[in-house]
Amino acid sequence: MKKPGFQKTAASNHKINGVHFSSFFDPGQVICQTDTEDRNGIFREMLERLARQHGIAEWEKACQVLVEQEERYPALLGSQIAVPHVRLESIDTVVAGVVTSQKGIVYGKGVEPVKLLILMLVPKAAPGAYLQALSALSKACQSPEVAERISALKSGEEVWRFFYQQGMILPDHVCACDIMDPVKVKLQEHDTLEKAIDLFVRHGVEELPVVDKDEDLIGIVSAHELLRVCLPDYILWMDDVSTILNFEPFAELLRKENKTWLAEIMTSEYVTVGEEAPAIQVAKELARSRANHAYIVRGQRLVGVVALERFLSRILRE
C-alpha cells in the first residue's frame, strides 16, 4: 500500500467544501500523548505551535478568546472529544492542531476528561467553515472508542494517517442538524397547564414544544400565550387597570391550572425545518416568521432545536 503524503490541499478563498479534513494539518501539528492535564495550558501550547508554523501574530489574543468561548459553551463532540475553534482575520483557510492524551485533559466542571482535542483556526469571513469541518468530524467520530484509539497512537504521523484513512470529506453545505441543539425540556400532549408553568419557572425558557407519544411535534406553548391565558381579552383592551391591582386573573388561573390541558392553550404556529435541509433555510424561516426558535424534525419527529440567539452566535461570532 502506498504511504499517503502530507500534502496541503485545502482550498483557499474560504471555499472548503469537498476538501479532506486531513489537509488542514500535518504531523508537526500533532501533540501526542501529552502529560498536560490543564485545558488552557494545552490551548496555549498548541496555538503557539500553530503560530510558528503559519506566521499567526495574534495567537495570544486568540488563546484568550478561545478560553472565554469554552467557558460558555464547551465544544464537545461525542465521548472524550473536544473540537474548540477560534476565528482569525489573518488566515484564508482552516488550520487545525490535534492533541491526544491517555490520562485525559480536564476540560471543565462536570465534563468528562478529554482524550482527543482538535483545535481549529478558521477564517473570520467564512461563517460556515467550522460547521462544515465539524460535520465531517462528527460522522467519523460517532463510535465511543474513537478517542481511545487515537490517544493510543504514538506519533504525529500515525494520528494524521488515521484522519486521512477515515475519509473525512467536508460537505458542500451545512445542514440544519449540524447547527441544532438537543431539546432539553418538552411537554407531553396530556400534560396540564400546571406542568407547563412549573417548567417555565424552573428552566427560564420562552417556549416549550409539545410532543405526542411518538415524539412527533404537535404544538408549542409560549410564555406570551401563557400571559394571554392569564389575562382575559377585556383586560387587554382596558386603558385603566387600576381596579385590578392584585393579579386577580392570575389567581383564577391558579385555581384551575391542574385541570387545564395543553390542547386548550398550545399553538400550531411555529417554525419547523427538516434535519437535512440546508442550514441557511433555518435563517430564512426564522426571519420570515419573526420566530425565536426553529424546531428540527425528522419527518414529524422532533430531533432538535435552533434558538435565534445561538444561531447568530454560531454563524457570526463563534
Q: What is the band of 253 on the pLDDT scale with cuts at 50, 70, 90?
A: low
The structural domains of the chain, ordered by start, are: 21-171 (3.40.930.10), 187-317 (3.10.580.10)
Global confidence as pTM: 0.73
C-alpha to C-alpha distance for 194 and 140, rounded to whole angstroms: 43
Indicate the average pLDDT of the chain: 86
Coil, strand or helix: which one is 86? Answer: strand
Q: Are 73 and 318 within 8 A, CB to CB?
A: yes
Q: What is the band of 1 on the pLDDT scale with cuts at 50, 70, 90?
A: very low
C-alpha to C-alpha distance for 75 and 1, rounded to whole angstroms: 36
> 85 forms bridges with which residues in the sheet?
120
> 294 forms bridges with which residues in the sheet?
271, 306
Residue that is written with C-alpha cell 388561573 in the block: 253
Q: Return phi, psi of residue 5, to 5°.
A: -90, 175
Q: What is the band of 3 on the pLDDT scale with cuts at 50, 70, 90?
A: very low
Q: What is the band of 13 on the pLDDT scale with cuts at 50, 70, 90?
A: very low
Coil, strand or helix: which one is 100? Answer: strand
- Residue 271: the pLDDT is 96
Asked if pLDDT for residue 230 goes beyond 70, the answer is no
- Digit-coded pLDDT (tens) for 106-120: 998 888 999 999 999
Q: What is the band of 80 on the pLDDT scale with cuts at 50, 70, 90?
A: very high
| SS (HEC) of 261-295 | EHHHCCECCCEEEECCCEHHHHHHHHHHHCCCEEE
Q: Are 38 and 113 within 8 A, CB to CB?
A: no
The lowest-confidence range among 103-107, 282-286, 311-315 is 311-315
Inter-axis angle of helices 59-72 and 39-54, to 10 degrees? 140
- Residue 236: the pLDDT is 55
The lowest-confidence range among 31-40, 138-147, 228-237 is 228-237
Residue 216 has which C-alpha cell?
Answer: 412527533
